[in-house]
Structure 1
Amino acid sequence: MLWPSHRRFEIPLPMQNAVGGAIHSESGTVLSTDTGACGSPSNGRVLSGAPDPVPAQSYSCRRSIVAIESGPHRGNDTLLEIPPGPDQPALNAGDHIRLARQQDAAGTTVYGFEDYSRGTPLLLVVAAFAVVVVAVAGLRGLRALLGLLVAFGVLVGFLLPALLDAKPALPVALVAGAAILYAVLYLAHGVNLRTSAALLGTLTAMAAAAVLSWAAIKVTALTGLSEEQTTNVANNLHQVSITGLLLAGFIIGSIGVLNDVTITQASAAFELAALDPAAPRQTVFTAAMRVGRDHIASTVYTLIFAYAGGALPTLLLFSVAGRSIGDVLTGDAVAIELVRSAVGGVALALAVPLTTVIAVLLSRLPRDSRVVDSARGRGNQGRNRRDDDRREAGDGNGVGSRHRRG
């Protein structure tokens, strides 16, 4: 069975506090900052007054007084000492941040900088996205947003727990992908033959992408351990298969672009079939494939540039590493993106003819043959009437001419 147990797992060591519990996150606002001597015993502690003085031997760093705005010490302040460095935050007065709250070995609460607070700005960005989608696409856009929520629920409620339970990654990813596709396609585009054609084409192409991904990972011996987060998973979640996690990522990552191509291709085939009910299937297929080839050519660039954009930091580091281009391209970090792009491109190219065939067949169901026959019958009747009219006109002219000659 693929359904996960949803059992609780031990918190990974890097995410534990000093006594093995979870690190809690609280909100805070920077009240003041300056640069001066650091090493105060009050660093990270809840302040009851001015910070304790620094020892005689100290170092220079950025010091910030932060107001704690949530949690058990709400209303108090804390001191954050941040040493200089390119990977350290540059806090300024008025910045809204997240504070990591944990306990040290003695049980004393200690605060530290965790990240900038992005709740409100992120909410505004997401709200703008939703408003624009609904304003342009109307009810269909709203249904598409609901489909995204369903997809998120499938990932969080099924895919991730199943991978944590060490379920086989290939069937888990295929089931999750199929569930997502059923939800997003029918929610956004309605339950009809056109959507069903796109769904069948996408499912077939996704299955092909799964097989190609599995074969490519095996042949190229990809490990995924070049990425820091994957290494953390390997070190702390020993039951999770890293290659399986990589495979699931390939499959789920292909859904979006396949969905885009197949729904467009199905719509093109159905519209072309509706324009000429008497057109044979081969004609509709050929015309729809002309649209599909243009779509393939443009979407391949989307795939490559999307993955290249995500790999820019890695490519930048390799550009100054003094290594040959062959070594860079065959390294695990870049090879993953190359294989991901290649698999996505092959699945994309296969999805177009597959979806077109399915859409053409569904647009010419047996019940539609009566429409075609009727259209052809009306055409034949019209031609027969025109022939009769011409014969009658010819007979009339002949009679008239004979009368005139007589």
Structure 2
Amino acid sequence: MKIKILLISIALMLLVNSEYSMAVDSLQVTGEVMDVSIKKGDYVQEQLIKVKILEGKYKDKIVLVRHQILEYSLHNYELNTGDKVLISLSYDENNRLTPKLISVWRLEHLKNLSIIFLILLVIFGGLKGILSLTSLAISGFIIIKFIIPSILKGYDAITISVMGASVIIIVSFILISGFTKKSLAAIIGTTGGTFVAGLLSKIYSYRCHISGLADDDVMFLVTNIGLKINFKGLYMSAIIIGTIGVVMDVSMSVTSVIFEIKRKAPRAHFRELMGSGLKVGKDVMSTMVNTLILAYVGSFMPLLIIYITSDASFTYALNTELLSIEIIRSLSGSIGLILTIPLTCFVASIMAK
């Protein structure tokens, strides 16, 4: 799953209620589809929908809403009786209430999926699962309440992101593993790998003259909200945040192996612990690097298909800022991941001995 400008997405949610929230004198409410009739044209299929309003001062009122099904658009879906929708209510020049369809109301389905996730996490993860969920909640809090506001105030995005990432790493490992030598070794290894990823992304973003403005979400912030921040730094900040998860996984896996070997063989020397950790790290690295790069490649697959099927040279396509961003992101994260392994092995072997 692409972490596509994570900080921008969160900032967007904090700054606007939705993409339609800038409408003047309009009220957004949820409704339930009571009846649907279809009108088919030569090029456009239109649905005439009776919607029962579920909230606000117009609750239980039935309104008539038109929905044009447009291919290759956000409205390329058919509504059925019982579906929940989000509509805006406004008054026209004749002071008549005019409803307009905004989108499908998805939160109930997302809530159900979240409940399934939480139940399985508690059943199969037990206390560890609950602590992991707590760690995730704290990470989100740090991103929303510390990293985003600090960047919006004009502080250096890289510095703020490294600080925030370090706090996330420390809190996560302490919550899940307690404050032990093993968790301390994993913290040091993860922090080092994350720092390397951030440093490389900063160096090569400047060398490649990445502006950070090639993405549509960023342009929305610029043109519609007028947000003035360092978008290049914001992009690099997203790389740092996006690297944490994979690097933490690798670091803890290697650390656990080394401490377990030392427990089973108390006379094992530093060189033996280091060698065993590196062997395990190679196996973990081969799959994790694959996972990281394939996740990024999969996230911009539609864009890659467009470039491949077009007449443009593939090398020219790689040279565009959009693809260059993804290449820098995936390679910086992978290098940080690779260097995490020897660093973690070294620290964990010393601490275990």
TM-score range, shorter chain: 0.7 to 0.9
Determine the structure 2 residue equivalent to 1:327: 316
Determine the structure 2 residue equivalent to 1:241: 230
Deviation at 1:318, TM superposition (A): 2.2
Determine the structure 2 residue equivalent to 1:230: 218
- Contact kept, 8 Å, 2:66 with 2:101, in 1: the verdict is no
Change (3 A) 1:116 1:150: same
Change (3 A) 1:349 1:107: farther
Find out whether 1:32 has 2:21 as its counterpart: no
Instruction: Measure, in 1, the Cα distance between the counterparts of 2:334 and 2:173.
Output: 21
Percent identity over the alignment? Answer: 23
Instruction: Measure, in 2, the Cα distance between the counterparts of 1:349 and 1:151.
Output: 24
Instruction: Measure, in 1, the Cα distance between the counterparts of 2:303 and 2:49.
Output: 33
Please state whether the residue corresponding to 1:138 is helix, strand or coil: helix
Change (3 A) 1:315 1:10: closer
Normalising by structure 2, report the TM-score.
0.87
Which has the higher Rg, Structure 1 or Structure 2?
A: 1
- Contact kept, 8 Å, 1:25 with 1:100, in 2: the verdict is yes
What is the 5 A alignment of 1:6-405? 15-19=20-24, 25-36=28-39, 61-86=46-71, 87=73, 88=75, 89-101=77-89, 110-235=98-223, 236-364=225-353
Structure possessing the higher relative contact order (Cα contacts under 8 Å, 6 or more residues apart):
2
Please state whether the residue corresponding to 1:249 is helix, strand or coil: helix
Deviation at 1:84, TM superposition (A): 3.9
Please state whether the residue corresponding to 2:60 is helix, strand or coil: coil
- Contact kept, 8 Å, 1:18 with 1:102, in 2: the verdict is no
What amino acid is aligned across from residue 245 of structure 2 in structure 1? G
- Contact kept, 8 Å, 1:28 with 1:99, in 2: the verdict is yes
Unpaired runs of at least 5, structure 1: 1-5, 39-58, 365-406
Please state whether the residue corresponding to 2:213 is helix, strand or coil: coil
Normalising by structure 1, report the TM-score.
0.76
What amino acid is aligned across from residue 288 of structure 2 in structure 1? T
- Contact kept, 8 Å, 1:66 with 1:78, in 2: the verdict is yes
CA deviation vs aligned residue, 1:191-249 (integer Å, no higher than 9, x gap): 21101110111111111111111011111222333321111122223322110110110
Deviation at 1:61, TM superposition (A): 2.8
What amino acid is aligned across from residue 287 of structure 2 in structure 1? S
Please state whether the residue corresponding to 1:317 is helix, strand or coil: helix
Instruction: Measure, in 1, the Cα distance between the counterparts of 2:347 and 2:319.
Output: 38
Instruction: Measure, in 2, the Cα distance between the counterparts of 1:105 and 1:210.
Output: 54
Unpaired runs of at least 5, structure 2: 1-10
- Contact kept, 8 Å, 1:29 with 1:97, in 2: the verdict is yes
CA deviation vs aligned residue, 1:260-286 (integer Å, no higher than 9, x gap): 110111111111122211121011100
Q: Provide the aligned C-alpha RMSD in A.
A: 2.5
CA deviation vs aligned residue, 1:90-146 (integer Å, no higher than 9, x gap): 222221112234566888654322222222321221122222222222211110011
What amino acid is aligned across from residue 228 of structure 1 in structure 2? D
Instruction: Measure, in 2, the Cα distance between the counterparts of 1:139 and 1:12.
Output: 35
Determine the structure 1 residue equivalent to 2:3: none
Please state whether the residue corresponding to 2:49 is helix, strand or coil: strand
Please state whether the residue corresponding to 2:33 is helix, strand or coil: strand
Count of residues in Structure 1 that have an aligned counterpart in Structure 2: 335
Choose 225-234 or 245-254, whichever is displaced more. 225-234
Deviation at 1:160, TM superposition (A): 1.4
Instruction: Measure, in 1, the Cα distance between the counterparts of 2:272 and 2:120.
Output: 38
